[in-house]
Amino acid sequence: MERVNTSKRLAHLRDLMKERKLDIYVVPSEDSHQSEYIAPCDARREYISGFSGSAGCAVITLDKAALATDGRYFNQASKQLDDNWTLLKQGLEDVPTWQEWTTEQAEGGKKVGVDPTVITAPEARKLSESLKKKAGSSLIGERENLVDHVWGADRPPRPKEKVMVQPEKYSGNKFQSKLEEVRKELDKKKAAGIIISMLDEVAWLFNLRGSDIPYNPVFFSYAAVTLTTARIYVDSNKLTDEVKDHLGTDVEIRPYDSLLSDLTAMSESAPIAKDANATASAPVLKKKYLISTRASWALGLGLGGEEQVDEIRSPVGDAKAIKNATELQGMRSCHIRDGAALSEYFAWLEETLVQRAETLDEVQAADKLEAIRSKREHFMGLSFDTISSTGPHAAVIHYKPERGNCSTIDPKAIYLCDSGAQYLDGTTDTTRTLHFGNPTGMEVKAYTLVLKGVIALDRAIFPKGTTGFALDSFARQHLWREGLDYRHGTGHGVGSFLNVHEGPIGIGTRSQYSEVQLSAGNVLSDEPGYYEDGNFGIRIENMIMARETSTEHNFGDKPWLCFEHVTMVPMCRKLIDPALLTSEEKTWLNDYHREVWEKISEFFKDDQRTTDWLQRETKEI
């Protein structure tokens, strides 16, 4: 990993800070849409600090600079940061959060600047209050991004990839119907309109897809919907005639950069709330615009600030998380093709490493997997960087092998592969952990306990109203009994030919997961694990879809839910200790393997290697 000398960049930035009378400048990782993955032009935190990890925040004072990141990146950050920087290891006891560090530095009436387009309104508010209460200082939303200024001509241009239509045979719903649903919500909330800022929400709402951001089929855009109008803010050069026809007269196309100025006009002309009686002491109340709690501070300010907006969990995000029958069918279909690709790959990998005893590194293997996948129907690219990891690397939860500088795969060690793809009809994300030699007793035990967790969550039956927080411990209970655990969530929402991680649902102990109920149509991952630093790692990940089920008693007036698994790849027989499985778990495993065989064996009529492998791995236990 290269280390950048940031002295010049910091000196330039500090000059700009002095010009603008700022004592401190905050550089978050996020883009203006709070995207998980960002385009190169938005990598401001990386540019100013030299640290290239996906998460973190840089804070620069006139004589200090700090970079805060979490446990995944302590190692990488300490390698990449030069001497100008202090690393704030977030989550360690006695290490301040970046907000606390900023507040400490700001004591005594300092001015702290941040680009209000790359920080959410709730985050800005919290920081602003802390600065005010604890340091007597203030947060300034500085419209021009100072890092962009330092970056100058070297800054990559904003992507200008073409936008495509996601046809109804895959989306299952006209965008006009989706707009109707949004408008019902506006009506219910007596709102003037809604501004949509998350890229996947805009893409989903209008049945469009793009390729501006790696792995995420989205495009730079905003949307504004009122009871009578719908606008999409996007560089019109990206729109093909097909897209323009698709949007027709229902949607007005506006330049991407004109959102903020439009917001001010929209706010000023917001309709009067119908129940308000204007009197001298009570001024006329205008209807408010809805924005997501993840919308940028700039967006809230543009609409007239806190008093003029209702910050809510996005109803578009909520609707997107409930897949319709077409999307669910697409998920089933693409997981069969994807499962076939993974099986073909694993059979090839075993033959290459064991029978042919060839040397293969982690990236070469991942490349082969991508080559196999890319032949499958409707393939549109990977859904994230493939985690192809051997031995101790499997214990690094977010491991990414570096091309030309990674390990060769040890056929005598655990191999963990976490990968996924984008297809026109859905998005996949699958993890399998394999062993090509003789696993240790502990590896078998850990794998079997993780598998028991996968099964426990998969078999869960629960009433509507249950949250993912409440189900998380089902996947952990068998590990817990032995004093084992994993330091990540159990499941995340998955898009339909959209982002592989999507909210608001998930299975784990994030506070949001205790607030959002699971619903029929939710698609989630089921991925417990176990990791022994420096030794080995286990993760098994299936995709599961919540659906209504009938129970013996159906107590109460709410529907009862269960999960349907759609991932179709065998578990690793060599790593399963049948003695640790209950009879219910064995039945589940045999049923699962029978289903995998039935659904994917037909792909290998002319491929004896994969057929043999699949037969062996799906045999009844």
Q: Note whether 276 binds its own copies by CB under 8 A.
A: yes
Can you name the residues that pair with 382 across neighbouring β-strands? 421
Cα torsion at 275, 278, 284, 288 (round to 10°)? -10
Residue 530: strand, helix, or coil: strand
The residue range among 229-237, 274-282, 394-402, 417-425 that interacts with its own copies, by the rule CB under 8 A, is: 274-282
Identity of residue 470: A
Matching residue, tokens 């119907």:
177
**Is the CB of residue 546 less than 8 Å from the CB of residue 585?**
no
Identity of residue 418: D
| Nearest approach, Cβ of residue 560 and its own copies (Å) | 5
| Nearest approach, Cβ of residue 474 and its own copies (Å) | 7
Q: Note whether 277 binds its own copies by CB under 8 A.
A: yes
Of 97, 473, 587, 611, the residue at the interface with its own copies (CB under 8 A) is 473
Comparing CB distances to its own copies, the nearer of 269 and 279 is 279
Of 19, 275, 606, 620, the residue at the interface with its own copies (CB under 8 A) is 275
| Nearest approach, Cβ of residue 463 and its own copies (Å) | 5
Comparing CB distances to its own copies, the nearer of 485 and 612 is 485
| Nearest approach, Cβ of residue 79 and its own copies (Å) | 24
Q: Note whether 425 binds its own copies by CB under 8 A.
A: no
Of 553, 605, 606, 620, the residue at the interface with its own copies (CB under 8 A) is 553
Comparing CB distances to its own copies, the nearer of 281 and 355 is 281
Of 137, 166, 171, 522, the residue at the interface with its own copies (CB under 8 A) is 137
Q: Note whether 583 binds its own copies by CB under 8 A.
A: no
| Nearest approach, Cβ of residue 208 and its own copies (Å) | 35
Q: Note whether 606 binds its own copies by CB under 8 A.
A: no
E-strand stretches of 488-580? 491-493, 502-507, 523-526, 529-532, 536-539, 542-549, 560-565
Q: Which residue pairs, CB below 8 angstroms and at least 24 apart, start in 78-84?
A: 79/1, 79/3, 80/1, 80/2, 80/3, 80/4, 80/49, 80/50, 80/51, 80/52, 81/3, 81/49, 81/50, 81/51, 82/3, 82/4, 82/5, 82/6, 82/7, 82/50, 84/6, 84/7, 84/10
| Nearest approach, Cβ of residue 515 and its own copies (Å) | 7
DSSP labels, 202-233: HHHHTTEE--SBTTB---S-EEEEESS-EEEE
Can you name the residues that pair with 565 across neighbouring β-strands? 544
Site string for its own copies, 284-303 (x = CB under 8 A): -x--x---------------
Handedness of CA 175, 180, 182, 183 (dihedral sign): positive
Of 228, 249, 269, 281, the residue at the interface with its own copies (CB under 8 A) is 281
Instruction: Please tell me the distance from the alpha carbon of residue 6 to that of residue 205, in angstroms, as a whole number.
Output: 41
28 backbone dihedrals φ, ψ, rounded to 5°: -70, 170
Closest CA to 66 of 21, 99, 34, 19: 99
What is the 8-class DSSP label of residue 399?
Answer: -
Of 552, 605, 606, 620, the residue at the interface with its own copies (CB under 8 A) is 552
Task: Say how many residues touch its own copies, by CB under 8 A.
Answer: 54
Comparing CB distances to its own copies, the nearer of 288 and 400 is 288
Q: Note whether 108 binds its own copies by CB under 8 A.
A: yes
Q: Note whether 509 binds its own copies by CB under 8 A.
A: yes
Comparing CB distances to its own copies, the nearer of 558 and 616 is 558
Of 7, 75, 86, 551, the residue at the interface with its own copies (CB under 8 A) is 551
Comparing CB distances to its own copies, the nearer of 240 and 551 is 551
Q: Note whether 134 binds its own copies by CB under 8 A.
A: yes
Q: Note whether 22 binds its own copies by CB under 8 A.
A: no
Burial of 295 (0-12, 13-18, 19+ CB in 10 A): buried
Q: Residues in the site for its own copies, rule: CB under 8 A?
A: 104, 107-109, 133-137, 275-279, 281-283, 285, 288, 307, 460-463, 466-467, 469-474, 476-477, 480-485, 487, 509, 511, 514-515, 530, 550-556, 560
